[in-house]
Amino acid sequence: MNDKLPKHVAIVMDGNGRWAQQRLLPRVAGHKAGVTSVREIIKATIEHDIPYLTLFAFGQENWRRPAEEVGFLMSLLLKTLKLETKRLHENGVKLLIIGERKQLSNELQAAIHTAEQLTINNSRLQLTIAINYSGQWDILQATQRWCEEVQQQSSAVPILTAEMFAQYLSTSTLPDPDLFIRTSGEHRISNFMLWQMAYTEFYFTEKCWPDFRKNDFAAAIDAFQNRERRYGFTSAQLLPAT
C-alpha cells in the first residue's frame, strides 16, 4: 500500500435526477440538492490538501435534455457562480472554467470571466468546472489551434509530441487527473477528459451525487491509495531497489 495522495481528482457528478425521482420530487430538485455536495467536496478537497479538483457540471450532449431542465441548469450555474465566487476567493480557490463558451449566455460568460479574473492569483486549490465541455471537442479544438499555428509559422509540418499537444488542450495548466470518481452506479466516461485520463484510476460508487459526502470522498481517496499504478511497467519494476 502507498499513502500517496492524488494531486488531481476529477468527478462526474451523476444521479441528481434519479435522487429527486426516488423522493417523488422534480428532477431539478436533485440539481439544486447537488450544489450542497459540491460545496462539501470542495471543502474536503482543501482539507485533504489535494491541489486540483475538476467537476463535470454540463456536457455538450446535455443540451439534448428538455429545454426546461437545460434552462434550470444554466440559471443554477449562473446563480451558484455569482453566489459562491467571493467565498471561494476568500478560501484561496482559483477558478477555471473549461468548455465551449460561445454557446453560453452572455451573462454566464461574463460571470465566468469575473470569477476567473478575481481568483487568478489564488493557489490553495485549483477548481476547474467543465461547462459545455466534451473530451472530443477538447481534442478537436486543440488540433485546430495547432494546425492554425503551423500554417502561420512554416510550410513543413513539425513533429508533434504528446506533451506539445497537451499544451493546446483546455486543461494545459493542469496535471492529468490521478483519480476519476463517478457517482450513481454508472460506469462510463461520457466524453469527459478523454486525452487527459489515459492513466487515471477510476472509482465508482452507487451513491447519487446529492448523497455524496466527505466520508464518501475519503473512501474514494482510500481506494486510490490501494491501487498500484504501473503505467505499462510490471509490478516488479516498480518495487523500490533494496
Range 184-223, binding Mg ion (CB under 5 A): none
Cell readout for 9 is 481528482
Q: Which entry of 2, 3, 14, 132 is annotated as an active-site residue? A: 14
18 or 82, CB closer to ligand IPE?
18
**Shortest Cβ 187–Mg ion spacing (Å):** 12
142 or 181, CB closer to ligand IPE?
181
56 or 224, CB closer to Mg ion?
56
**Shortest Cβ 73–ligand IPE spacing (Å):** 5
Cell readout for 234 is 510490471
143 or 190, CB closer to ligand IPE?
190
Active site residue 62: yes
Cell readout for 69 is 431542465
Contacts of residue 152, Cβ cutoff 8 Å, sequence gap at least 6? none
Cell readout for 162 is 504528446
Active site residue 121: no
Q: Is 209 exposed, middle or buried (0-12, 13-18, 19+ CB in 10 A)?
A: buried
For 26, phi then psi, to 5°, come to -65, 150
Q: Which does 73 bind (CB under 5 to 8 A by kind): Mg ion, ligand IPE, none?
A: ligand IPE
Which residues are near ligand IPE by CB under 6 A? 13-18, 58, 62, 73, 184
Q: Does 19 bind Mg ion (CB under 5 A)?
A: no
**Shortest Cβ 64–Mg ion spacing (Å):** 12
Q: Which does 58 bind (CB under 5 to 8 A by kind): Mg ion, ligand IPE, none?
A: ligand IPE
CB 108 within 8 A of CB 78: yes
Q: Which does 115 bind (CB under 5 to 8 A by kind): ligand IPE, Mg ion, none?
A: none
13 or 125, CB closer to ligand IPE?
13
C-alpha span between 192 and 188 (Å, rounded): 9
Q: Which does 135 bind (CB under 5 to 8 A by kind): ligand IPE, Mg ion, none?
A: none
**Shortest Cβ 63–ligand IPE spacing (Å):** 11
- Of 9, 12, 13, 14, the one binding Mg ion (CB under 5 A) is 14
Categorise residue 185: left if φ over 0, alpha if ψ from -120 to 50, beta otherwise. left
Q: Is 57 exposed, middle or buried (0-12, 13-18, 19+ CB in 10 A)?
A: buried
Q: Is 10 exposed, middle or buried (0-12, 13-18, 19+ CB in 10 A)?
A: buried
Q: How many CA atoms lie within 13 A of 211 on its CB side?
A: 14
**Shortest Cβ 51–ligand IPE spacing (Å):** 25
Q: Which residues are catalytic?
A: 14, 62
Q: Which residues bind Mg ion (CB under 5 A)?
A: 14
